[in-house]
Structure 1
Amino acid sequence: MRPLRYAINVTLDGCVHHEAGVAPDEESMRYWTAEMERADAQLFGRVTYQMMESAWREPASGEWPDWMREWEIPFARAIDRTKKYVVSSTLTDVDWNAELVRGDLRHAVEQLKQQSGEGLTVGGVTLPLALADMGLIDEYVFVVQPVLAGHGPTLLAGLRERLQLELVDRREFGSGAVAQRYRPVRSQP
C-alpha cells in the first residue's frame, strides 16, 4: 500500500495561503522537487489543481516563462510529468496527465492508496482537511517558514478531532525555514 502524504508550506502562525509565506529559494525548491519525485501521483482538489497547472505546466512551446528561474525548472518538470488525480464535483474534464476522482472520497482514496507505488501527495487546504478527518493521511510534511502572516487560511482549520503526531524527520534550511515530517500516532487496538 502506498502512503498518502500531506505536504505544504506553512507560516509560523499557521497560515497556508500560497502567497503568505516567502518566495521559494533554491534550497527549498530542491527539497520540494525531491518530495515531488518521492511520489507516484499527486492528489488535488480543484482549486489547487488549477493553481498548480497555471504555474507549473510546461508550455506547448517548450519554453519556460521568463519569471521562472533556472533552479525552479526541475520542480516544474517533476510536477508536469507526475500523474495527477483531481477531486472535483464541478470540473467535467481535466488534462495535464490528470484524471477526475468522483463519488465517495474515502473509497476513491483508499483505492488509490492500495495501488503499488512509492506514494501519493496531497496539497492545498480543503481536501487535506477532509482526508485528515477520515484518518487517511499517513504522513504530514510541513515546511515552516519564518514568517508571521497575520491573516489567511490556517493549517487544517476545522479539524474535528485532535491528531497526535510523532516527529520522524527534521531539516533546517539556510533561510530559517524548517522542514518537519510527522506520522500520526495510531492508537493500538
Structure 2
Amino acid sequence: MRKLTFAMNVSLDGYVAAPGDDLGWSVPSDELFQFWSDRVGATGLALYGRRLWETMSSHWPTADQQPGATPAEIEYARRWRDMPKMVFSSTISTVDWNTRLVTGDAVTEISRLKAEDGAPMDIGGATLAAAAMRAGLIDEYVLLTAPVLVGGGTPFFTALDNWVDLTLAETRTFPDGVLLTRYETKR
C-alpha cells in the first residue's frame, strides 16, 4: 500500500495562500528550497489540484532555461519535469511534463492508487487535499509553518466530520524561522 502525504508551506495562522492566492509570504530560504527539491526527487507520484498545477506548470517546465537560474532551480526544474504527476480537474483538457489528467472522482482514484504497491505519493492543492482528508486517505501531514500571519485565504485544513488522531513524527527548524512539523495518522 502506498503512503499519501499532504505537504505544503503554511502561514502561522493556517493558510497555504493569502487572499487573492498571494504566495509572496512563502518564498523559501535556500535550505528550505533544497528540502522541497529533495522531496520532489523522492516522490513516486504527485497528485495536483488544478490551481496548484497551473501555478507549478506555468513556471517549472522551463525554469532551468531562464537567465540567472541557480543550480538549485535547475535541479528542481529537472526533478519536477521527471516526477510522475496526476492532475485532478474537470475544467482543463490537456497536461504535459510526465503528467496524466484525471477528470473522474478524485477520492475513488486516490483510493485505487493507494491500494497499489509503489513509491510514496504527495498530494498538493488545498481543495484536492481536503477531499482526501475528509475520506481519511492521508497518511502523513507535513506543515512547513512560516512565521507570518496572513489573516485569511486558502486554509491548509478543511472542516472534518470526525477527529483525526495524529502522532508527531518529526520537527525541524530552518534558518529563516520556518518550522517543519510532520505528523503521521494513527490507524
Mapped to 1, the partners of 2:153 and 2:116 lie a distance apart of 35
Instruction: Supply the AA of the counterpart residue of 1:7.
Output: A
Mapped to 1, the partners of 2:162 and 2:79 lie a distance apart of 34
Distance 1:104 1:22, change over 3 A: closer
SS at match of 1:55: coil
Answer yes or no: is the 8 Å Cα contact 1:58–1:77 preserved in 2.
no
The sequence identity of aligned pairs, in percent, is 36
Query: How far apart are 1:108 and its partner, in Å?
Result: 0.8
Bigger CA drift: 127-136 or 90-99? Answer: 90-99
SS at match of 1:42: strand
Instruction: Supply the AA of the counterpart residue of 2:9.
Output: N
Residue 4 of structure 2 corresponds to 4
1:49 counterpart = 2:53: yes
Distance 1:72 1:94, change over 3 A: same
Bigger CA drift: 157-166 or 127-136? Answer: 157-166
Query: How far apart are 1:133 and its partner, in Å?
Result: 0.2
Mapped to 1, the partners of 2:49 and 2:136 lie a distance apart of 18
Mapped to 1, the partners of 2:52 and 2:104 lie a distance apart of 19
* Superposition CA RMSD, Å: 1.8
Query: Counterparts of 1:85-124 in structure 2 under 5 Å?
Result: 85-124=86-125
TM value normalised by structure 1: 0.89
Pairs aligned (count): 183
Query: How far apart are 1:44 and its partner, in Å?
Result: 0.5
1:16 counterpart = 2:16: yes
Deviation string, structure 1 residues 64-123 (Cα, Å, up to 9, x no partner): 223643322222221111011111111222111111113232221122123332211111
Distance 1:157 1:113, change over 3 A: closer
5+ unaligned residues in a row in structure 2: which ranges?
none
Residue 37 of structure 1 corresponds to 41
